[in-house]
Amino acid sequence: MINSVFSTAESTGDAVAEIKANINDKPMAVVYFVSSNYDQEKVAAEMQKAFPDSQLIGCSTAGEIVSGHMLKKGLVAMSLGEGVIEFADMEVISDLTSANSVNAAFDEFEKKLNQPISHLDFNKYVGLVLIDGMSCSEEYINERIGDLTDVLFIGGSAGDDLKFEKTWVHANGKAYNGAAVVALFKTVNGFDILKTESFDTSEKNLIPTKVDEATRTVHEFNGKSAIDAYAEAIGKDKEKAADFFMHNPVGLLVGEEPYVRSPQQVQGDSMVFYCAVKEGMELNVLESRDIVEDTKSDLNKKLQEVGQPKGIINFHCILRTLELEQKDQTEAYAALFNDIPTIGFSTYGETYIGHINQTSTMLLLK
């Protein structure tokens, strides 16, 4: 049994009470996403009081998604019952610079499962990872998780409604910043993943030739200042190039599939990105397509392939949300999920075999 519910009540207590009132059972787990306008520590504590017998995981957002709605200043939640999952555990990675902290979280999984995580059936087990979206640590954490297990972990970077000040992740009654939270589920009927982005590749490539990887800052592409080379590639004036970041990000091509790297801002003649860019990495200049039509097409193909899922958790890049708002398409996008219990949030980056941008990365629970 899966329920997806939401509240836009202004007070934390009222919002959590509304969530509780619409989830009548005692779910094994509750996943929730909450606007940064709420008191995060209070939300975490109140949600634990409302669902004392459930495992809880959540984070702050840059906008919320629930079946049929794209929200701002809301709280969305999904209950996962025993018909969907048969094991759930949530752990905290408290130090985002320490391999030991990641190892400790996965040691706890192993203790509760009473078996090595390397022995798990990766067709049945799936993980969620929610990371402080201001930490610039997504690549490191995802690499460490990948070193420890073949179980697929997907997720997103917490947001703060574009304030870019402080983001929060939640687990089992507490809220943290400078941390990540991980969930491990054993599904009853399996799961699937849908990663969709709305871009065409082009004939133009940019190769980073001077990069500060720690700050995700590219100083030069193709031996020229980053913003000059980028502006030349998209055929725009340097002064206006930043206006096209949303429509013309760059992507690392794996076969024909782009793994998007989105520019965040210009600093001098350099460009700061939402995720890691390495020197010598060949990046294709991408051109945006219609998000609603592409998502509709990709979702329909997936549903024909695997059937109707019991629920969807959608990690949806904030840049896609901003583009939908710009084109007055938020209602059309939300309507794609009218008939499927769905929650999600606008992220500061998505996790799917690494850290990516400008995608919707969705967990489909069968």
Q: What is the pTM of this model?
A: 0.91
pLDDT tens digits, residue range 128-170?
Answer: 999 999 998 898 999 999 999 999 999 999 999 999 899 999 9
pLDDT tens digits, residue range 22-39?
Answer: 997 899 999 999 999 999
pLDDT tens digits, residue range 62-72?
Answer: 999 999 999 99
Query: Among positive and negative, which fits the CA dihedral 1, 55, 363, 35?
Result: positive
Q: What is the average pLDDT across 89-93?
A: 97
40-50 and 12-21 are packed helices; what angle lies between their axes, rounded to 10 degrees? 30
User: What span, in angstroms and rounded, lies between the C-alpha atoms of 74 and 9?
Assistant: 7
Structure tokens given for 312: 């969807």
30, 38 contact by CB (below 8 A): no
What is the four-CA torsion angle of 201, 202, 204, 206, rounded to 10 degrees?
Answer: -10
pLDDT band at 356 (very low <50, low <70, confident <90, very high): confident
pLDDT tens digits, residue range 205-233?
Answer: 999 999 999 889 999 999 999 999 999 99
User: What span, in angstroms and rounded, lies between the C-alpha atoms of 97 and 99?
Assistant: 7
